[in-house]
Chains A and B, each alone.
Chain A
Amino acid sequence: MDAMNTPPPQVPPQIPPSPLAHPAWVPLGENPEERTPIPNAVVAIEALLRQPRRVMYQLRQPGAGRLIGGMLIVSIVCSLIYGVVVGSFSMHEQLWTAPVKVAGGLLFAAVICLPSLYIFACLSGSRARLSEIIGLVSGLLALMTILLIGFAPVAWLFSQSTQSANWMGTLHLLFWGIATLFGLRFLESGFSHSQARSNAGLNTWIIIFVLVVLQMTTALRPIVGRSSDLLPTTKKFFVTHWADSLKVDSSETRQ
């Protein structure tokens, strides 16, 4: 009798699963939410952050070109905005050259690395089409630059309170590194659904991509700090440039 009088246990409210709750072996599109189209760039940003599997699923659907275009526009706009923050360290002409260099450099790096990613994907046995690979790279760039926007207020604050170009360069690299980690996680997750036999090719490509972007920061210097020339007159590898920069008195670089 006591048991009959006991109130039934309360059922806790259902918590929607996080994106990470779906392991790689669950096919894309299993969850009905993933099949919801992504109509514009704003929804694409939200989906990249909250429902990356939805983006991956939509990239396989007909008409994915609009989504890819939207993510590319997001990447360009976000990198331009972050570039203004980078340029605010030195002001003057850097307010427009730094955004152009940041946005142009990232896009150029992605374009020259894209063919090798496609080849690595095919060699790994991946069934992903070229448009899907382009979409995943667009997602990588978009997620990376959205996160950079998140870091922008902190970067701006530091840029207004230090004289050291080396310090600011290191800080921007740190922020870029963190943003890139998340972007690459998206790429790897998308790649895992393409029936690739191994990730060795993708991991090799990631190393190449990171090296290319790092070299781009040297090829397009100065991005932080100022110079009489818009682009460098001497060619250097980024490690050499960093070593040389550390030797220079950082206070002299902010003119």
Chain B
Amino acid sequence: MAGSDYQRIMNTGVHSSGLAISELLRADPQEVGAWTRRWDARHIAGQVGLIVLGAGLYGGAMGWWRDPQQALYTAIKFPLIILLVTAGNGLLNSMLAPLLGLNIPFRQSLVSILMSFAIASVILGSFSPLVAFLVWNAPPIGNLAASGSTYSVIMLTHVAVIAFAGLAANVRLWGLLRESGGSRVAANRVLIAWLSINLFLGSQLSWIFRPFIGAPGLELQFFREHPLAGNFYEAVYRSMTHLLNFD
């Protein structure tokens, strides 16, 4: 599709149309680069809509194994975490970019990150019917002892799908950073910095918003009791010391 057609579609704000999504996924650096340099509330709303829909569908499929109510909770929480990470790190990410050699304004860095999350969410959304089918074929989560390796299969599937979505989104983000005037080294530095910061905040937000799948023995809740008590990294540390018998 010609660039002018792309602009026309983007200008209409019809981001949910097949063509707009296909352009987003192809993420031709020049076309998308021109788009990220502009600030348009409709475009932003379209990206947010894709995140809510895509990540919401995947979250629903993820939580459905435990209970339909858990599916609803996870469908709300999953996109919420993505949006909170984008908003929470927006300022820091935009400050790091010029410091690491990529001189782009705040708006462009925010839109670029939002776009990469939208790509990941669309990919996750496309896999949600397959994950739902997998969950439908799995023994009930309450019967984990009998389900044998099912739990591992489902967990590994989630890891593989989310990793693939994240990888594909970041490859496109990297191409966009290169197009934005940065050298290869600067693009690498900015991408690694953004990834690290987003991962750091995202892990803690995921800890606060747990559960996503829902443990069979525990009550169905939107938040666990005292969600702000402790943090993700403390829990990882405790698990490691327990595993290694240091305490």
Give the interface of A toward B (CB within 8 A). Answer: 111-113, 115-116, 118-119, 122-123, 125, 127, 129-130, 208, 212, 215, 218-219, 234-237
Contact = CB atoms under 8 A, between A and B. Distances in A.
Contacts, number: 55
A212 B21 CA distance: 25
Interface of B: 1, 18-19, 21-22, 25-26, 122-123, 125-130, 132-133, 136-140, 150, 153, 168
By CB atoms of chain B within 10 A, which of A111, A119, A129 has the most?
A119
A122 B133 contact: no
A115 B126 contact: yes
A112 B25 contact: no
Give the 8 A-B CB pairs with smallest separation, nearest first: A122-B25, A112-B129, A115-B126, A130-B18, A119-B126, A122-B22, A116-B126, A235-B139
Nearest to B1: A127
7 contacts: A113-B130, A116-B126, A119-B25, A125-B26, A127-B1, A129-B22, A235-B140
Contacts of A130: 18, 22
B19 A115 contact: no
A122 B26 contact: yes
B6 to A, nearest CB: 12
A233 B130 CA distance: 21
Nearest to B148: A240
A175 to B, nearest CB: 24
Contacts of B153: 237
Contacts of B18: 118, 129-130
A218 B138 CA distance: 12
A116 B130 contact: yes
Nearest to A129: B18
A136 to B, nearest CB: 15
Nearest to A215: B137
Nearest to B172: A123
A118 B130 CA distance: 14
B206 to A, nearest CB: 24
A235 B122 contact: no
Contacts of B150: 237
Interface centre among B1, B25, B153 (most CB of A within 10 A): B25
A137 to B, nearest CB: 14
A122 B19 CA distance: 10
Contacts of B129: 111-113, 115
B148 to A, nearest CB: 8
A115 B165 CA distance: 14
B195 to A, nearest CB: 19
A116 B1 contact: no
Nearest to B136: A219
A112 B136 contact: no
Contacts of B138: 235
B174 to A, nearest CB: 14
A52 B225 CA distance: 60
B15 to A, nearest CB: 14
Nearest to B143: A235
B133 A215 contact: yes
A218 B22 CA distance: 34
B168 A235 contact: no
Contacts of B21: 122
Contacts of B139: 234-235
Nearest to B125: A115
Contacts of B19: 129
Contacts of B123: 119, 123
A122 B118 CA distance: 14
Contacts of A116: 126-127, 130
Contacts of A129: 18-19, 22
Contacts of B127: 115-116
Nearest to B123: A119
A71 B126 CA distance: 24
Given A122-B25, A122-B26, A129-B19, A218 B137 contact: yes
